[in-house]
Amino acid sequence: MTPRPLARYALRVASLAAALGLWQLLTGLDVDLWLHFSQFPTVTDVAGAFAERLTGTDYWTDLTDSLTRILTGFALAAVLGVATGVLVARSRLAEDLLGPVLEVIRPIPAIALVPVAILLFPSNEQGIVFITCTAAFFPVLVSTRHAVRALTPAWEEAVRTLGGGRLRILGSVVLPGALPGIFGGLSVGIGVSWICVISAEMISGQYGVGYRTWQDYTVVNYPGVFVGMVTIGVLGWVTSTAVEVLGRRLTRWLPRTSYTPGGRPRTPVPRVAAPVGVRAGSDPENQAEAQHQGHDDTEQEARDEHLV
Amino acid sequence: MSTSSEAVETAAPSAAPAREGERGTRLTLRAAVLGRPGAPVLHDVGLDVAPGEILAVVGPSGCGKSTLLRTLAGLLSPLAGAAEQDGRPLTGPSADRALVFQEDALLPWRTLRGNVKLPLAISGVPRPERRARAESWLGRVGLSAQAGQLPHRVSGGQRQRAQLARALADSPRVVLMDEPFGALDAQTRSGMQDLLVEVLRGTGATVVFVTHDVDEALFLGDRVALLSAGRVAAVRDVPRPRDRGALDDPARVTLRRAVLSSLGT
């Protein structure tokens, strides 16, 4: 049986609640086996600290600062990554010119670019955006490049023989066709962006969730550290869900398999093959179709449906 | 292969084309070597496709049928010799020469209507007119009810009809078809052949139809060109009228036998 949506949400909430319960249990009982939970703040400690933070102004400043940084960096990375990926995949000259440089920079962890950012940019703010952008840039670039190279050649040939030029092919074939792959890269990119924006803030930020979390650590305010961590987790979850949802909306044309994990196929309508030439009167789909067609084509249509 | 004596290369078709169009156009290949650079597939190709004619091209798999078609479409350049339209060399693809593919060449993120509107958008037809013209073409191929569907939601036969509508929507003077019904079952296929004849009537388009099915070639073609061993082995006139019932007509049976033997099958 496929669980109802409501049941699935309940399950998800229960999973979170169970994790929190376990945390509370281990810390509340001061479990000190091989792992030490006695110094660990309890869920209630953290909740108390959280409530306190929410009423102050600093928390919201941290939040908006971090969000501004990540959204700026990520948006830049999305645009640059897609543009570079398309360019490298479509032009041999671009591949030869940019390829080696990109491949050498790619393995460097973005957070290792902090010294570079400090040297290059006049303000901390720009440095953090730079690091965030670099982090998300490569996953987007690589997936775009792969997606563009894997496009079905017939799509492009079709548009060319319909008179389409380079721009038309870019807009009508390359970008929409590569979109599923691009969104794969964006999903990875937003995750890496969070890691890097938080790390960069810890090193060089003023305000920001990462900065605050590190500050709390230096003054041994452990509940505060956990408030920061929870905030990062929730923000990361929300932003990557937003990317996923947007991606699914824009690629709704993708053929879906009838397989649903752990459940039955979505449409349990029996599709019995009718004998050729016999009007399949009992099949509601064909009836609807027959009504639409309304002329001699109907029979052919019904056959098409069943045989192909 | 003792067929070279039968070759009527570059000769104009003796049977008058059924659909004489004043807007017709002529395709010519002269002593052409076709293929990808460094990998020629067809040698010494001489073909002349008259305005409004349907030339069916038959041959076994891998004999260069698609290469021939891609050259006429302008996607490939001849490695030697000449490929011309009305005496002018072909330079790249053009909206005047539409290509219908065997495989799915519809853009999967566009509805059938969206796909048919595409050539109209490319040629700058005003937006409101695009929709009306696309709908009219979808109606002619019997897809009015499926206009808003995505390609993967309809059957293979319906996808090929949509491809046909898209190819014809902007009134090209040449329609090149690369085994368009090759992946369809027998019943759907013969229905599509009838539809094709009906839809082409009155367009005056010059058609090159590639297939590996001899009967399909004899049914659709005004002439049939046989490709074999990297050459055009022969070009044969097909007696008219176009009639499926004429399959057991003695002249037709003889022609069919001759075609099959030319192909070495």
Please report the pLDDT score of residue A2 as a whole number: 56
pLDDT tens for each residue of B29-49? 877 777 788 888 888 888 888
Distance CA B177, CA B98 (A): 8
The pLDDT assigned to B46 comes to 83
ipTM of predicted assembly, 2 dp: 0.80
Are A292 and B94 inside 8 Å of each other by CB? no
- pLDDT: is B176 or A293 the higher one? B176
Distance, in Å, from the CA atom of A173 to the CA atom of A169, rounded to the nearest integer, reads: 5
Task: Mention every residue, 6+ apart, whose C-beta is less than 8 A from residue B55.
Answer: B47, B49, B207, B208, B209, B221, B222, B223, B224, B225
pLDDT value at position A205? 67
> Cα(A214)–Cα(A273) distance, rounded to whole angstroms?
66
Answer yes or no: do B155 and A163 touch at CB < 8 A.
Answer: no
Q: Does residue B138 have a pLDDT over 80?
A: yes
Residue A122, pLDDT score = 86
What confidence tens digit (pLDDT) does each residue in B107-134 have? 999 998 999 999 988 888 888 888 888 8
- Per-residue model confidence (pLDDT) at position A260: 56
Which 3 state secondary structure label does DSSP give B14? coil
Of B144, B166, B188, the CB nearest to A307: B188
Check pLDDT > 50 for residue B53.
yes
Residue A130 has a pLDDT of 92
Strands B80-85, B223-228: parallel, antiparallel or unpaired by DSSP? Answer: unpaired
Residue B179: the pLDDT is 84
- Cβ count within 10 A of residue A19: 11
Taking the CB of residue B228, how many other CB atoms lie within 10 A of it?
Answer: 19
Cβ-based burial of B157 (10 A; exposed 0-12, middle 13-18, buried ≥19) = buried
3-state secondary structure B145-204: HHCCCCHHHCCHHHHHHHHHHHHHHCCCCEEEEECCCCCCCHHHHHHHHHHHHHHHCCCC
According to the per-residue pLDDT averaged within each range, which of A118-132, B219-233, B244-258 is highest? Answer: A118-132
Q: Which fold has domain B22-96+172-265?
A: Rossmann fold (3.40.50)
Mutation pick from A155, A258, A304 vs chain B, by most beta carbons of B within 10 Å, is A304
Catalogue all structural domains in chain A, each as residue range(s) with its CATH number: 5-40 (no CATH), 46-250 (1.10.3720.10)
Residue A37 burial by CB count (10 A; 0-12/13-18/19+): exposed, middle or buried? middle
The arithmetic mean of pLDDT across residues B152-168, rounded, is 87
Hey, where are the domains in chain B?
A: 22-96+172-265, 106-171
The maximal CA–CA distance of chain A, rounded, in angstroms, is 83
Cα angle A263, A269, A271; round to 5 = 115
Percent of chain B exceeding pLDDT 90 equals 2
- Which one has a higher pLDDT value, A245 or B194? A245
Q: Do A307 and B185 touch (CB under 8 A)?
A: yes
How much is the average pLDDT of B142-162?
A: 86
Q: Look up residue A173 and give its DSSP letter.
A: I
Which of A152, A276, A293 is nearest residue B145 as measured by Cβ atoms? A293
Confirm or reject contact between A292 and chain B (CB < 8 A): yes
- The pLDDT tens digits of the residues spanning A224-241 come to 888 888 889 998 899 999
Residue at A47: amino acid letter = A
| Tens of each residue's pLDDT in chain A, 308 residues | 555 788 888 999 999 999 999 988 888 888 778 887 878 888 888 888 888 888 888 888 888 888 998 999 999 999 999 999 999 999 889 888 998 899 898 888 888 888 888 888 888 888 889 989 999 999 999 999 999 999 988 899 889 988 888 888 999 999 999 999 999 999 999 999 999 888 888 887 688 888 888 888 888 888 888 888 888 999 889 999 999 999 888 888 887 765 555 555 555 444 444 444 444 444 444 444 444 443 444 333 333 333 32
In this model, does residue B237 exceed pLDDT 50? Answer: yes
Rounded CA-CA distance A96/B260 in Å is: 51
Chain B hits for A162, CB-CB cut-off 8 Å, are: 95, 98, 118-119, 122, 166-167, 170
| Least confident window among A192-201, B131-140, B254-263 | B254-263
Q: Does A167 touch chain B (CB under 8 A)?
A: no
Nearest by Cα to B156 from B133, B199, B185: B185
Mean of all residue pLDDT scores within chain B = 78
Closest CA to B41 of B73, B67, B61, B60: B67
Look at residues B166, B164, B227 and name the one whose alpha carbon lies nearest to residue B197.
B164
With CA atoms as reference, report the closest residue to B68 among B154, B178, B143: B178
CB contact under 8 A, A307 and B166: no
| Distance between A307 CA and the closest CA of chain B, angstroms | 7
**Mutation for testing the B interface, residue in A161, A297, A300, A308 having most B CBs under 10 Å:** A161
CA-wise closest residue to B147 among B126, B136, B156: B136
